[in-house]
Structure 1
Amino acid sequence: MRRTLPAVATALLLALTSCATSGPAGPSRVGSPAATPAASRQDAAQAEQTMASLRRVDDLPLYEMTYVGAYDPTVGTDAAPPSPFGCSLFVAAGDPARPLFARNFDWDANPALVLRTDPPDGYAAVSLVDISYLGVGADPAGDRRLLDAPLLPFDGMNERGLAVGLAADDAATARPVAGRPTVGSVRILRLVLDRAATVDEAVAVFTRHNLDFDGGPPLHYLLADASGASAVVEFVDGEMRVERGTGGWQALTNVPVAGVPEQRRREDRRYGQIAAVLTDAGAVVDADAAHRILAAVRQGHTRWSVTYGLRSGEVRLITAGGGERRYQLAVP
């Protein structure tokens, strides 16, 4: 059943500009703060432990929370999506000992959440969530709608060193395949983080599902794993296309890459800047250098810049206000 936002929240969301959306099968929960979360499969103690872990760490505002217990990543509710501005992502794997995934997330001034998950039937992960899509405001203390936060990863990395992020692609169209379940265009990231250890496994997760772009900007996705492998997943003329990374790096902004010559891709300003630096560096960059690249292509509406060390497990996050946070995920 389609759910609708209260009038004020709907007006706010329609006014926003962003690089991604959840789509009609995507994860936006609205209602009272005491409403039963759709995704939670926790017992009462686990839910309380999760809520008790919430803390504010930055004036973005940025929050952190550790999710305790199980959730169902397949349940869905809807939200009216915003229109895209742009995001910038890249993988640098010129040094096979330290492949790195990086992204700028460009959005409106909404609160964000760093979420740790460790589902009993999936991989542990760290992901970043825009909690406005849950109907949660800048003061989320005690708001049990946060228990649906696992449904909303806009980027993240799991314990196997598999990372994924998204960006708007206005040209994308996805044609449903009979017999496959349909998921929202952000929800697919949760399924990838929970179930995939490699790029090949992540592509297989995409292949097993139909994506629903209705009502919001269509998307494309960048994947990378601890081996340094990477791929862009796009939807061209209704069909899923996979563009594998070559030459030690791969970048993604808001222009299609599947079947597009590299010189054409570089006509996009942000893509061209990223490509030039990574080419000159032989695709060898550490987190400091990656953040300098992200800073060079950041926009006025960039909400966060994050790097994921695919073998080190280090997550380094810089928010729009300049605050920096570091997290460590145990990876093999």
Structure 2
Amino acid sequence: MKKILMWCGLLLLILVVGGGLLLRNELTTLATMKKINNKPFYEMNYRGDYALDKLLKKGVNNDQELADFATGQLLHGLPVKIKVPNLGCTTFNAKTPEGKATFARNLDLDDAPVMVVRTKPKNAYESISVVDPGLLGIKSNEMNQPMARLMTLVAPYIPLDGLNEKGLSAAVLELDGPTTNQQTDKPGINTSVAIRMILDKAKTTDEAVKLLEKYDMHSSAKATYHFQIADRQGKSVIVEYINNKMQVLPADKSYQVATNFYLSPDKYNQGSGQDRYAIASQQLEAKKGILTPQASMNILQAAHLDTKEPNGKVLATQWSAVYEQDKLRLNIAVGHNYKQIYHFNVH
């Protein structure tokens, strides 16, 4: 009996140690997850390989294929669903009085948890991004539950804006139009994978555009989107998809603004957010595109949303982020509290 108990104990130890070694990166990642305030607002430092190169080689043609990849690659069989909600947003780039590039973004949707995620993949650029765990079906009051915490291991694949170590920023904004569903012989990506790819693989705006051109875009949630991308040198573009054709709109001034209507000539002004666009554009024009990071945050505050849609859903600004692209720093306000600005560095 003693020998049986000894061998059972040894077997249990082997299983525990083996499981710990197999899941060491996941466990280390979850150990870094920290609650910052009761929004709820969290931060996480992602450890390990989330296999972006494997995903890009395989390609994904819809959100479910991304979820299936995450289930097998990141969650070891634990099923997950990814659903992108309605996003009413504002973005713009500017320069500080010292000539340093900045990138600003409001993320507007219904009540959501917020998480700042740092990633440091091998053979790719380190970055910081802001994600909404609600895309994984996690509600604000569920963030401390064990299953919800496990689901956050998919966070690298649901960024909505971010900044990498080369000073490149990108963000996605929803448009009103048919789903983008390009069908060529290129591998497929969806909306959030595009942001992940740009942050990991591009150091300039031009490189980001060339990357997007290599893939068929299959936009998330049966919607369509445009992207604003701006680099450390201050070069900004808006990327839209019109009739499944990618269009690149360069800035015609030292700054560029986007909300939730088309900027391409073929569909110009179709959509919403013209009021928020005017707020940002007028203040940028008055300052000739030169703003301190705090002045950029003030514009985000002026353009923030807190409204109720006809269907009863609240559409409110969940976070306001100003990325200092030279200092590689994120300044962020959450839940309309502009008196409390949090600061995070890429490294």
TM-score by length of structure 2 reads 0.77
- Quickly say closer, same or farther: Cα 1:87–1:178, change in 2 above 3 A: same
| Match runs of 1:85-96 below 5 Å | 86-93=88-95
Q: Give, in whole Å, the separation in 2 of the partners of 1:226 and 1:311.
A: 6
Query: Aligned letter for 1:120?
Result: K
Answering whether residue 188 of structure 2 is matched by residue 182 of structure 1, we say yes
Larger Rg: 2
| Match runs of 1:109-258 below 5 Å | 109-137=111-139, 138-140=142-144, 142=146, 143-171=149-177, 173-213=179-219, 215-258=221-264
| Match runs of 1:21-32 below 5 Å | none
2:189 aligns to what SS in structure 1? Answer: strand
Which residue in the other structure is 2:86 paired with? 83
Asked if the contact 2:119–2:127 (Cα under 8 Å) also holds between the matched residues in 1, the reply is yes
Query: Aligned letter for 1:282?
Result: K
Query: Aligned letter for 1:82?
Result: P
Which residue in the other structure is 1:46 paired with? 25
Query: Aligned letter for 1:167?
Result: L
1:49 aligns to what SS in structure 2? Answer: helix
1:284 aligns to what SS in structure 2? Answer: coil
Query: Aligned letter for 1:158?
Result: N
Structure 1 residue 204, shift from structure 2 partner: 1.2
Which residue in the other structure is 1:65 paired with? 44
Q: Deviations over 1:100-134 (max 9, x none)?
A: 10010001111111100000121100001111222
Structure 1 stretches of at least 4 aligned residues deviating more than 6 Å after TM superposition: 260-267
Structure 1 residue 175, shift from structure 2 partner: 4.6
Q: Give, in whole Å, the separation in 2 of the partners of 1:46 and 1:267.
A: 41
Answering whether residue 318 of structure 2 is matched by residue 303 of structure 1, we say yes
RMSD over equivalenced CA pairs, Å: 2.4
Structure 1 residue 220, shift from structure 2 partner: 0.4
Query: Aligned letter for 1:98?
Result: K
Q: Give, in whole Å, the separation in 1 of the partners of 2:301 and 2:325.
A: 21
> Per residue, is there more helix in 1 or in 2?
2
Asked if the contact 1:95–1:283 (Cα under 8 Å) also holds between the matched residues in 2, the reply is no
2:155 aligns to what SS in structure 1? Answer: helix
Instruction: Give 5+ residue unaligned stretches, structure 1.
Output: 1-41
Structure 1 residue 282, shift from structure 2 partner: 0.9
Structure 1 residue 273, shift from structure 2 partner: 1.3
Query: Aligned letter for 2:66?
Result: G
Query: Aligned letter for 2:304?
Result: R
- Quickly say closer, same or farther: Cα 1:266–1:155, change in 2 above 3 A: closer
Structure 1 residue 197, shift from structure 2 partner: 0.4
Structure 1 residue 187, shift from structure 2 partner: 1.5
Instruction: Give 5+ residue unaligned stretches, structure 2.
Output: 1-20, 56-64, 68-80, 307-315
Q: Give, in whole Å, the separation in 1 of the partners of 2:165 and 2:107.
A: 22
1:154 aligns to what SS in structure 2? Answer: strand
Alignment length (residue pairs): 288
Answering whether residue 341 of structure 2 is matched by residue 324 of structure 1, we say yes
Asked if the contact 1:92–1:100 (Cα under 8 Å) also holds between the matched residues in 2, the reply is yes
Q: Give, in whole Å, the separation in 2 of the partners of 1:218 and 1:139.
A: 29
Structure 1 residue 139, shift from structure 2 partner: 2.4
TM-score by length of structure 1 reads 0.80
Asked if the contact 2:127–2:199 (Cα under 8 Å) also holds between the matched residues in 1, the reply is yes
1:149 aligns to what SS in structure 2? Answer: helix
Asked if the contact 1:54–1:141 (Cα under 8 Å) also holds between the matched residues in 2, the reply is no
Asked if the contact 1:174–1:235 (Cα under 8 Å) also holds between the matched residues in 2, the reply is yes
Structure 1 residue 169, shift from structure 2 partner: 1.1
Which residue in the other structure is 1:286 paired with? 292
